[in-house]
Amino acid sequence: MIRSVIRGVGSYLPAKVLTNEELARTVDTSDEWIQQRVGIKERHIAAEGEYTSDLATAASRAALAHAGLAIEDIDMIVVATTTPDYTFPSAATLVQMKLGMHHGFAFDIQAVCSGFVYAVATADSYIKNGMARRVLVIGAETFSRLLDWNDRTTCVLFGDGAGAVVMERVDQAPDEPARGVLTSALRSDGRHWDKLYVDGGPSTTGTTGHVHMQGPEVFRHAVGKITDVVYATLEQAGYTVDDLDWFVPHQANKRIIDGAGAKLGLPPEKVITTVDLHANTSAASVPLALSVAVSDGRIKQGDLVMLEAMGGGFTWGASLIRW
């Protein structure tokens, strides 16, 4: 059996921290309101001249160091992002250049907040079909550059950051306990595009645009779609919710995280929550949470871990991993 095992994890957050109190000086909001509604205390903001590829490169270096590998050991780079440095080339090729990698191949995936889960499933497929042995999978965003800082309904929700994992091919005997990515399930439904979108793009306006969101509608869909895809992934692999050691959801909103955990019947101590410290970092949020839980020793070898995310499009998905 060919399996894609996660060999290393890493993350990076920009140095600048923007607290709720600081936001309250410029928009009509408060620390109490933000924490009550979404559970966010602060977010990190990329510095002037600090781009998505820079964040991704820093997280990649940390993941490589954690894996004990060099860039020469990597065959493929995939970056999940909604905020690439340029329309083209891809952020992934810029990361490839910045890491000094002159072999293999690199490309971006755009599935907004679900991007990292999509990227894990994609890397797993490339490994299993023999096109790559080791893959650097990155979620990176400078989402602050899509925000209207006068819109209190959106500007309080998002931040910048990057997380990365190194996925490696492992050949397992049929009688060995399965490790790595066991299965993934990906979904999308474009009918809901206007519930969470950016009003700009090269083909429509030639501008970047700002985030627009129908918050109650997104919340209404989120919990149901999250739980459905988690159940589907577990069923594919022959497990139940009770078998899970850890649930690592997209860090969008603590109320959504708590609602999904409750609907799944998961005790809160099995749910990794980091949204309070970095807000919604879109495609970076799952690997950032994963990195925290691995670094502090909660996630350890042998644990059964569920990754999950939902984002604009709508897109959503889950990956079940035996650590």
> How is residue 132 written in tokens?
């790559």
Contact 180, 6 (CB under 8 A): yes
pLDDT digits (tens, 9 = 90+) for 65-114: 999 999 999 999 999 999 999 999 999 999 999 999 999 999 999 999 99
**Which residues belong to the active site?**
113, 250, 280
pLDDT digits (tens, 9 = 90+) for 197-238: 999 999 999 999 999 999 999 999 999 999 999 999 999 999
The Cα–Cα gap between 305 and 315 comes to 21
What is the reported pLDDT for 177?
87
pLDDT digits (tens, 9 = 90+) for 258-301: 999 999 999 999 999 999 999 999 999 999 999 999 999 999 99
Burial 264-283 (b: 16+ CB within 10 A, else e): bebeeeebbbbbebbbbbbb
Across the strands, what pairs with 12?
A: 162
Indicate if the alpha-carbon torsion angle 110, 113, 118, 120 is positive or negative: positive
What is the reported pLDDT for 299?
98
Mean pLDDT computed over every residue of the chain: 97
What is the reported pLDDT for 141?
98
Question: Residue 263, CB half-sphere, CA atoms under 13 Å: how many?
Answer: 16
The Cα–Cα gap between 159 and 284 comes to 10
Query: How far from each other are the two terminal CA atoms of the chain, in whole angstroms?
Result: 16
Instruction: State how far the alpha carbon of 67 is from the alpha carbons of 10, 12, 76, 89, 198, in Å.
Output: 9, 16, 15, 28, 36
Q: Which helix (H) or strand (E) holds 181?
A: strand 180-188
Give percent of the chain with pLDDT exceeding 70: 100
pLDDT, average across residues 296-322: 98
The Cα–Cα gap between 20 and 124 comes to 38
Residue with tokens 């670094």: 295
Question: Residue 287, CB half-sphere, CA atoms under 13 Å: how many?
Answer: 41
pLDDT digits (tens, 9 = 90+) for 172-198: 998 888 999 999 999 999 999 999 999
The Cα–Cα gap between 8 and 181 comes to 14
